[in-house]
Amino acid sequence: MGDPRDWIAVAALPDLGPASIKRLWDHGWTPEKLFNSSLSDWQRLGLKKSTLNALNNYQCGSRNCLVSERVELALNWRGAADDHSILAITDPAYPTLLRELTDPPPVLFVKGEVSCLNLPQIGVVGSRSASVTGLGQAATMAEYLSESGFVINSGLALGVDAAAHMAAVKSKRPTIAVLGTGVDRIYPSRNQSLAESILSNKGAWVSEFFPGTAPLASHFPRRNRIISGMSLGILVVEAALRSGSLITARMAMEQNREVFAIPGPLNNPLSKGCHQLIREGAVLVESGADIVRELGSLLGAIAPAKDEDSASEPEYQVDSELGSLLQCMGFEICSVDQISQRSGLSVAKLSSMLVELELKGMISQTSSGYVRS
């Protein structure tokens, strides 16, 4: 890895975003050329006054130069630990697919295993308030895909993101958390333990934001383009019609990535986003094997040595009475009264049977009733 100092300085310039930096680079304006040019050269580029002032201050070595301060902040962070890296867009270790975007981050701050950034990835996104069923689907899919050779990347948010990361960790496979904060801050803080386990499994935390950057609403759409940009495809698990997950999926479509969506119950608002994506051309998937069939040739993936159907729906060893009750429940949340009405069993009889199914891990209890796991 080379010295990224000049690229860090470019990233620190005010009012000069990733798309503008990429356009300059495409026209031969490397950081070295930019910093060695004159004010008149910069003005011809149409740069904003704030950018011109910052360039001039940095070039002159002015005191209290914000760009210089941010460069030193970044380099001090890199030197603080062996697993801290800063990748400029020209670095061979920079994610190849991400470099293809029209607005790639000029630098990436990475904590953890840099090598996993160029392994074939699937981005998994979905609702922060996913249902028990949705969380189970995210975990099952992520586990299968991890064991098939894909690296799972996601945004370390609550809900689907966390379920996908956890499944990869459980499989002892690397997973990548793309952050909407500085790489030294975990948001939400309750996922700190999960974040640490990602590093323990040779995964990584990645951010384009400078160390110390707080979580702001405007950061998360920018984070989402990195999730899709590094991925061969995006899997959407439960998403409302207006959600960050749909924004990520549409970014993926614009980036010519494959988009996969899991259909759900018609009366679930979190199914509507996935159904809309399917209408727009996303691939309907019911198991991880569906995704491996679509993308496996891109990595020579070999599916795990287990039955394909078992990846999406486990076979339960239960007696016929419990099995019949399980079938009555379906996959939506059902109250005890609803289950009683469907099964014809009394509430008293149901109570013991539901406890037995829950102990076997076949159903889960929620605040509204029970749902199949």
Q: Which domain holds residue 347?
A: 322-372
| pLDDT value, residue 95 | 97
Residue 311 domain flag: no
Residue with tokens 């749902």: 371
Residue 308 domain flag: no
Q: Compute the average pLDDT of residues 257-269.
A: 94
| pLDDT value, residue 190 | 96
Q: Is 316 a residue whose pLDDT tops 80?
A: no
My answer on whether 326 and 368 are in the same domain is yes
My answer on whether 151 and 271 are in the same domain is yes
Residue 307 domain flag: no
Task: Give the model confidence (pLDDT) of 69-82 as tens digits.
Answer: 999 999 999 999 99
Q: Compute the average pLDDT of residues 238-245.
A: 94
My answer on whether 337 and 354 are in the same domain is yes
> Please, what sign has the CA dihedral across residues 272, 330, 126, 256?
negative
Q: Which of 245, 287, 242 is nearest to 263 (CA)?
A: 287
My answer on whether 80 and 141 are in the same domain is no
Whether the Cβ atoms of residue 184 and residue 212 lie closer than 8 Å to each other: yes
**Ranges 14-18, 45-49, 347-351: which has the least confidence:** 347-351
My answer on whether 8 and 136 are in the same domain is no
Listed in sequence order, the residues at least 6 apart from 93 whose beta carbon sits closer than 8 Å to its beta carbon are 1, 85, 87, 114, 115, 117, 118
Residue 258 domain flag: yes
Residue 187 domain flag: yes
CATH number at residue 190: 3.40.50.450
Residue 108: what are its φ and ψ, rounded to 5°? -120, 135
My answer on whether 17 and 107 are in the same domain is yes
Domain tally for the chain? 3
Q: What angle do CA 86, 89, 93 make, to 5 degrees?
A: 65
